[in-house]
Structure formats: C-alpha cells, structure tokens
Structure 1
Amino acid sequence: MLRFLTTLGLLVFLMSPGPAYADKVAIVIDDIGNNRSDLNATLLPGNISFAVLPYTPYARAFALRAHHQKKQVLLHMPMEAIENDRPGPGVVTADMSSAQIKLQLVNALDSIPYVAGVNNHMGSKLTQLPMPMQAVMETLAARKLFFIDSRTSEFSVAEQIAGKLGVKVSRRHVFLDNEVDEHYLKQQFEQLLRLAKRHGQAIGIGHPYPETLSFLQQQLPELEKQGIELVFVSELTKVTNQNGYLFPVTSAK
C-alpha cells in the first residue's frame, strides 16, 4: 500500500503543471562581436537573445557559441543614423537603391550563422523612411525572419511596413544601460518588469558591459519568483496591422 501511494504521489508530481507565468520579459543584448570578452555574455542564464554586429572580429565565433548554449541569435544590422556617421561595416544608408539595400542585408545575414531575426543598430534616420524599410522587410519576409525595432526614433515606420508584408515584429520598450551604475540598472530593470506586469510583456535592450552582465547574472534567476517568464524575443513578436501596435517605449538611445 505504501509503495502504491508513493508511486501515485510521484505520478501526480510529474503530471502537475509547472509555474504559472502571467507575464513575459525578453532581453536582447546588443552590439555583440567587437570584443573577445563578448563571448562571456553567453553565460547569462535563461532565454537571452543576442544581437550580433556583422563583420566584427568575434561575430561568427559568438553566434556558434550562443547556439551551442541554446541562446537566440539576431543580426544587429547597422542602419544610417541622423547624427552618427559611423554605424559600422555593412551599414544600410538612405541613398542606396532597394536592390543595394537587399544585397547588403542578405550579405550580412549570410555572414552570421543561426540568425533567427534582425534588429537595427542605430538607424534613427533609416527607420523613418518607407522605401528603405520596405526593402528591409521584403528581405526578411522572404527568409521568414522577424524584426525588433530598437526604436532609436519615435518616428520609425518599421512596424507599419512589417505589417504590410506579414513580417513578425515587436519593439524595444526599455534601454537597460544608457548608464551602468547599479542604481540606474536597477531603476531600468524595475521599469521593464512594471511594463511587463501592466501589459503582459516587455522587451529590454542592454549591452555586453561588465556591469550589465554582472547585474543580469544576479537578477534573472529572481524573475520566476515574481511570476515573470524570461523568453526569447521571438516569442513576443507577431504580425501587426499597418498602424503598428504595443505600448509606448521609454527613453530613446
């Protein structure tokens, strides 16, 4: 009888559902690839997404390591900014033709293995322009890739253009580390969690700064206790209508 009850108890335990999560958070670590130390970012716990700059010294090695660690890889595509003329190699600019933009993007995508989606590096100028973003989204639609708008411009048309072409899309809601002191990191992280609890989901973007990685290493394991699930950013994308969607973002970068 005791053996039967023990077995029954084990079956009940195994069949019980896991933690019930009401809210979801995704974190993207941008600007990966320039430094060897970036490789350490793959040690962050849980479902972290990493945005890798094309043609950087450690881009391919990082993508391979991240995939091995069961993380998600994005292409961090350089796009023309309003005030910064050095977005990095492979940049897409407003004076390019649609064909040139598509070729530039395809070459960047092919340079990094295991890419699941794309987000913009800089791009405060380019993401405001319908023609270049049309070329970008047509390329992503052909490859069935999603787009995360880093929202470096409040006038971005990325979500609207994505909606026209059936590309899954979402946007950044909080920049975690415009400053890297602990007080600021905590303030931004708490803002991310508040948004997730209010709207059911939120996306934060950080960078591979030692301070950011150390902070996240401590904080991420605590999310489950708050009923928040850490998910890959792809899980928070969807096909939108042509007017965009979601809720307002906080401080622009």
Structure 2
Amino acid sequence: MPFRKKKNGDIDEDMASDLADDLGDGMTDADDDEDNVNLDDLPFNELPIEVQFKRMPKRPKSRRSWLSKLLIITLFLSPFCATAVAMIPVLDPETGWRLFHAGGPEATITVPGTERELQEEIARGVKDIQDRDRAAMEAANGANGQGPSAEDIAGNLDGVSDLIGTPGATDGTGDGAPTPEELAALIEEEGSFDEPIEPDPLRPAPLPGLDEEGSFGRIPRIGDDGTTPFEAYKRPFELPEGTPVVAVMLTGVGLNEERTDAAINDLPLNISLAISPYARDLQTVAREARAMGHEVFLELPMEPADFPLSDPGPRALLTSLSEGENLVRLEWLLARFPGYAGLVSRQGSKFGSLDSAIRPVIEFISRTGLMYVEGTGSGVASYGAQLAANDGTPNAISNVIIDDTPSRRHIDRRLAELVEIAKRNGVAVGIAQSYPVTIQRLRNWAFRLKRQGVVLVPVSAVSGQQVTPQSADEAEAARLEAEEREREVMAEQAEQEEALSEPADPAEPDEPANTIEN
C-alpha cells in the first residue's frame, strides 16, 4: 500500500497502524514458513541426520558379502564340529571304528597274541559253552522224559572236556579216569557252570585308625592296637591241612571297564585282584571289588632289566633316582585308593635285585603293615621278597606267569603247571593279566579245580608259606652279595655310557687326516 505523507513530512497515523499490522503478519508468516520448510529445497548437509541416512544410497548385497558371512560362521562352528567328531570313538567305539576304518583292508591273518586272536579265543570259548548247554538239553530231553543216564552224560562230555576236565585224566585218586557214574556225581555236586557267583562282601574301606595323612593323600599305617592293613583288608580264609593250595592274582584291573566288570563279577571270589595305579576311578573299582568279595592289591611299577625297552609307566621306581625320590613316588602310589591288603611288584627285575634300591622300599612297606608280593614269576625268592621275609612282612612269590602268551592252549598249559607245582610244593601262586581269554579260562579252570585235589585260596592266605626268613649271618651274606652285584651292574652301565660318549676313531697314522688343506 503506498504511504501518503502530509505536507509537513510526517506519516499519517492510519497509515502507521496499517504498517505495523503488515509487519506483524509478515513475521507470523515467516515462522510458519520455517515450520513448513520443504526438505527438497535444502542442501544435503543441512538435512537432519535421520533424513541423511535414509537418502544415502544403499549398496546391494554382493556375493563376496555372503561368502564372508559364511566363512565367519564356519570358523565359529568348526571347533564344536571337530570336538563332536573326535568324541564319536569315545562314546561309541563301534561306530567310531566303522567311521574311521570304512573301506580299509580286512585282516585275514591272525598274529599270535593280537586282539584278533583273543577275540577268536573268546568265540571258541562261547562255542564250547553252547555245545555244553546243547548236550545237557539233549540229555535232559531223553526218551520217555526220563533223566539222562550215565552213558548219555559220558557221551556228551566228549565235546566239552575243556570245561569240566578231560575224561581220560585222573581226579587225584591215581586210578585212571573216573567212571561215567562218578562224572555224573561230580557234575551234580559242582552245580552248573552258568550259575552266577554270590557276593560275599568285605568290610568297607577305609577303616578308622588304619591310615594317616601323607604328602599326596591318605596312606596306610598300622593301627594303635597293632592291627595292620593287611589283616584288616585281606579276605578271611583258613588254609586246609594236608591239601595243596593254589592262589591266583589278576593284574591290570581297572584299565578297561568291560574286563574289570568281568573280573569282579565272573571270577571266583578267592581270586585276588591287583588294581593298576594308572586306572581311572580307582576308588570305585576297589569299592566294587571288595563289595563283591575280592581282596584287592595295588600294583607297584618298578624298573625292569630291559628298561627303557619295557617301560613300567610314570611314577615308577627307578634305579637312576635317589632313595628320597623313590620314596616320594612310593608315597604317591600308596595314596591312590584305600582298602588294599598289599602291593605286587610289576616288572622290577632290575630294581628288585639292587640292595640300595629295594631295601628302603621294603622297609617303608613293613612300617605300613602291608603285604609284598613278588610278581616276576621266577618261582624263586627274589632279594626283595627275602628282605620282606627277614623283616617279618607278609610276603609271597609268583611261580608262574599264566598268560605271558595270551593263547587259550598256552593258558591251559600254564594252569596245569601251576597245579603240579602246588601238588609238589604244597602251595603255588600264579600271576595273570586281565585279558578276556584269561578271565574265561580262569573261570573254567576254577570250576573243575576241586576234582584235582587242589583248593583255590586268596593270595593273602599263602603269606609266609614260600620264603623262609634268613638268619643274621645269612642275611649279611646276602646283603654283601647284592652289593657286589650292584657294583657290577653300575660298572657295566658306566662302560656303556663311556662307549656311547667316545668320539669316532682317529685316522690311521699312514692316512692323512680330513683337513681343509687335504
């Protein structure tokens, strides 16, 4: 609107009010325009952050992007997948074998002493049992429903002689083979081979007052009233007078779960079990064995003559260690589990023959009140067993290694040899490993042992029956002899070490040496 002025140059009052109103309206419109700004008219850097983010160009998903994500996921899951595959053989050995050996060559040749031969021995043993059961059923289902006659029983015994004894062998009377009537009476008296063994539990271990705190846990000790762990934890048994006795100790118990269960539940209770210090869950194995009725021993690994070709394992007692270190290792072994009646040496042909090595160990065992069993199978009193006998420590020596060759026929021959030694000397001790074929043959052998005039007893029952204590003069002479033998062994070792450390032979005088100039 044009302003009109008066003549004197002043603005008309009406016009001034109109101008003020227009200015107010203009400011209001500016505020409204500011609130209703068109974002399309503004530059990008002045836009709000949210709008800028929405208007940024989006990059399409590329193949490389998907591959990178897949790689990250794969790297994250790979440790779990590898662990799962590695656990297959542990959780299911059969599936693990098929998974890792599928398409491999099949073994068609049986190597003596291998696992394949052991499985074949077990299969033959199972077949023998099936033949025996089949023969018994056929005899029981005789004509007219009558019981089997003596002739039928004698005829059915031909295929199962290894289970109940050879019909042509004597039964201890010395008058040839028993008659069919006598065989029938023996079978009726001994019962069925398949009958389960009834448990005869021993007292739970440990007993109060028979252990003390050691460097690695509780170790055995003689009680305040004089009770020894040997007397408290052994299987009670009274030796029969005038009857040969034989004792068997099964070693390596605890290393395999199936074999351990078979040894505890399938073997006669008078067979002693030696638990390996390297087994898993030793306390559970010892508790189950004692709950069944078996007395248990602890294996004592010691250095053999062909060490290190034959390795007794970690924490074994070695001649190269000092007396203190060997005693520390012994204390670690003694603290493995409670409830054992004694120790049985494992290997140890070298360690047990040196006076400076074995004497401190035997003295420590004597102070704990345990039994010491020589497990080398030599059949003669070793130096360690003689020291134990001289100290009044319960002791025994093994006469035969039953399964040094884990074959069915070899085991049967060794068991027959053990019976002959018992008849000749009055007592015999056998050592065996916990192989499946050994457990099966021991059960069969023990089933028919009574008819041979020999009684199966625990190893603790023959304590002190094999080694006679020496007099003071004899003990001193044996000590001097052991020291002389030890000096010879040490001199031989020094010569071998010197020969290995000598440099190569120098060149002959008439031959030039290999030098840079030549």
Same fold (TM over 0.5): yes
Matches within 5 A, 1:85-104: 85=308, 86-104=311-329
Question: d(CA) in 2 for partners of 1:185 and 1:58?
Answer: 30
Aligned counterpart, 1:169: 395
Q: Check the 8 A contact 1:141/1:167 in 2, yes or no.
A: yes
* 2:438 aligns with one of 194, 201, 212: 212
Q: Which residue of 2 aligns with 1:4?
A: none
Q: Partner letter of residue 259 of structure 2?
A: D
Alignment-derived partner of residue 429 in structure 2: 203
**Displacement of 1:69:** 0.9
Q: Which amino acid aligns with 1:230?
A: L
3-state SS of the aligned residue for 1:115? coil
Given candidates 443, 450, 453, the residue that maps to 1:227 is 453
SS of residue matched to 1:170: strand
Q: How does the TM-score come out when normalised to structure 2? A: 0.41
Task: Supply the distance in 2 between the matched residues of 1:84 and 1:64 (Cα, whole angstroms).
Answer: 33
Within a 5 Å distance, the mapping from 1:114-125 to structure 2 comes to 114-125=339-350
Shift of residue 49, structure 1, vs aligned partner: 0.8
Give aligned-pair identity as a percent. Answer: 29
User: Which structure has the larger Rg over C-alpha atoms?
Assistant: 2
RMSD: 2.1
> Could you tell me which amino acid in structure 2 is paired with residue 57 of structure 1?
R
Distance in 2 between residues matched to 1:155 and 1:213, nearest whole Å: 27
Task: Find the partner of 1:107 among 329, 332, 348.
Answer: 332
Tell me: CA distance 1:61–1:116, structure 2 relative to 1, closer, same or farther (3 Å).
same
Question: Unmatched 5+ residue regions in structure 1?
Answer: 1-18, 245-253
Deviation at 1:48, TM superposition (A): 1.0
Residues 164-222 of structure 1 show CA distances to partners (whole Å, capped at 9, x for unaligned) of 32212111101111112221111100000000011111001111101000111111122
- Alignment correspondent of 2:255: 34
Counterpart-to-counterpart distance in 2, 1:199 and 1:175: 17
| Equivalent of residue 296 in structure 2, options 64, 70, 73 | 73
Q: Which structure's relative contact order is higher, taking Cα pairs within 8 Å and 6+ residues apart? A: 1
Equivalenced residue count is 226
Separation of aligned partners in 2, 1:77 and 1:69: 24
Q: 1:152 to 1:176 in 2, by over 3 A?
A: closer
Aligned to 2:227: none
**Letter of the structure 1 residue corresponding to residue 336 of structure 2:** S
* Closer, same or farther: CA 58–179 of 1 in aligned 2, 3 Å: farther
Name whichever of 123-132 and 187-196 sits farther off.
Answer: 123-132
Q: 1:78 to 1:226 in 2, by over 3 A?
A: same
Asked whether 1:135 is paired with 2:360, we answer: yes
TM-score, normalised via structure 1 length: 0.82
1:16-68, Cα deviation, whole Å (9 max, x unpaired): xxx87601110001122222123221120130111111132243322111111
- Write the letter of the residue equivalent to 2:274: A
Contact 1:51/1:73 (8 A) holds in 2: yes
Cα–Cα, structure 1 residues 84 and 130, in superposed 2: closer, same or farther, change >3 Å?
A: same
Q: Paired residue for 2:244, among 16, 20, 23?
A: 23
* Bigger fraction of residues in strand: 1
| Structure 1 residue identity aligned to 2:351 | L
Whether the 8 Å contact between 1:182 and 1:215 is mirrored in structure 2 is yes
Structure 2: gaps spanning 5 or more residues:
1-239, 476-518
